[in-house]
Amino acid sequence: MNGSKETVTVIGLGVIGGSYATALKKLGYTVYGADCDEDTVKKAKERGIVDDAATLADAFLPLSDIVVIALYPKQVEGELRRIAHLLKDGAILTDVAGIKSHFTEKIESLLPENADFVFAHPMAGREKKGIDYADDRVFKDANFIITPSERNKKSSLDTIERLAREMGFKNVMRLSPEDHDKVISFVSQLPHAIAVALVNSDDRQFDTPRFVGDSYRDLTRIANINEKLWSELFLGNKNNLLASIKEFEKYLDIIKKALENDDKAALEDEFVRATKRRTEFNKEL
């Protein structure tokens, strides 16, 4: 690739894919888009999110240096199987999927020799779904994870890292697919599980919305959840998520036991520990 900006095709123009397209178009890239929903394609073109769009990416792929597959994890394999023969020589592909280790090897087995696939996870998003909620501002100062494989060229990894930084991501990290899935089970999937459980545990004895404060609002914001995507993510990372849930339950049980025993000292110890950890966390942000 020369010094000019690459041509990019984004497959899947939902919240994340639409935000990618918006960001890259503003940065001066030539951006094509594809989405199976005709209304989404129409909106992407009307709003200038892309230079052109269609329900299939086929016509754009021979022109594209970079292909972003912004689909659900299980859809990535099927789309790659369909488009592999259309890819430009030397094309770099990437994804946005929230789990990695379960499909990395399969995806790479489908790649032609003249293409490279850099697995990536933008740690940003919204509770809503669809192009109407796409907004590149969601990437500002967010985290971005790349999970390199032995097949990846250094230049491909560097290209996707550069793209992430240009879009506004603050921290770009590289982890193995296995380590990615372990940490994601804790920092992303467990909080969603807790938020869902908290909202669903409301016995509706009171008119809850009239009494909530910031603590409930903050904790339950992500309970407004895309059920199809997150059920796939949970099940695709089942063992890691179960381990995170069990570890969380252990500390919730400490609080429960302290309450049962009227143990004020034990409660204070847990609160002090949490405050210290959260203060340390704030310093690293």
Please, is 262 exposed, middle or buried when counting C-beta atoms within 10 Å of its C-beta (0-12, 13-18, 19+)? Answer: exposed
Q: Which domain covers residue 98, as residue numbers?
A: 7-175
Q: Clarify whether residues 200 and 140 are in a common domain.
A: no
Q: Clarify whether residues 259 and 149 are in a common domain.
A: no
Cα distance from N-terminal residue to C-terminal residue, the chain = 35
User: Average pLDDT of 265-272?
Assistant: 97
- CATH code: domain of residue 147: 3.40.50.720
Q: What is the pLDDT, as a whole number, of residue 192? A: 96
Q: Is residue 66 part of a domain?
A: yes
Q: What is the pLDDT, as a whole number, of residue 285? A: 64
Three-class DSSP labels, the chain:
CCCCCCEEEEECCCHHHHHHHHHHHHCCCEEEEECCCHHHHHHHHHCCCCCEEECCCCCCHHHCCEEEECCCHHHHHHHHHHHHHHCCCCCEEEECCCCCCCCHHHHHHCCCCCCEEEEEEEECCCCCCCHHHCCHHHHCCCEEEEECCCCCCHHHHHHHHHHHHHHCCCEEEECCHHHHHHHHHHHHHHHHHHHHHHHHCCCCCCCHHHCCCHHHHHHHHHHCCCHHHHHHHHHHCHHHHHHHHHHHHHHHHHHHHHHHCCCHHHHHHHHHHHHHHHHHHHHHC
User: Average pLDDT of 240-262?
Assistant: 98
Q: What is the pLDDT, as a whole number, of residue 2? A: 42
Q: What is the pLDDT, as a whole number, of residue 127? A: 67
Residue 128 pLDDT > 80, yes or no?
no
Q: What is the pLDDT, as a whole number, of residue 125? A: 72
Q: Clarify whether residues 144 and 16 are in a common domain.
A: yes
Q: Is residue 1 part of a domain?
A: no
Q: What is the pLDDT, as a whole number, of residue 44? A: 96
Share of the chain above pLDDT 70, in %: 98
**Distances in whole angstroms, Cα of residue 257 to Cα of each of 250, 251, 264, 269, 275:** 10, 10, 11, 13, 20
Q: What is the number of structural domains in the chain?
A: 2
Q: Clarify whether residues 163 and 200 are in a common domain.
A: no
Q: What is the pLDDT, as a whole number, of residue 1? A: 46
pLDDT, one tens digit per residue, over 76-118 is 999 999 999 999 999 999 999 999 988 899 999 999 999 999 9
Token pair 């770099």 is at which residue? Answer: 92
Q: What is the pLDDT, as a whole number, of residue 107? A: 93
Q: Which of 41-50, 131-140, 175-184 has the lowest mean pLDDT?
A: 131-140
pTM of the model: 0.90
Give me the chain's average pLDDT, please.
94
pLDDT, one tens digit per residue, over 144-172 is 999 999 999 999 999 999 999 999 999 99
Share of the chain above pLDDT 90, in %: 86
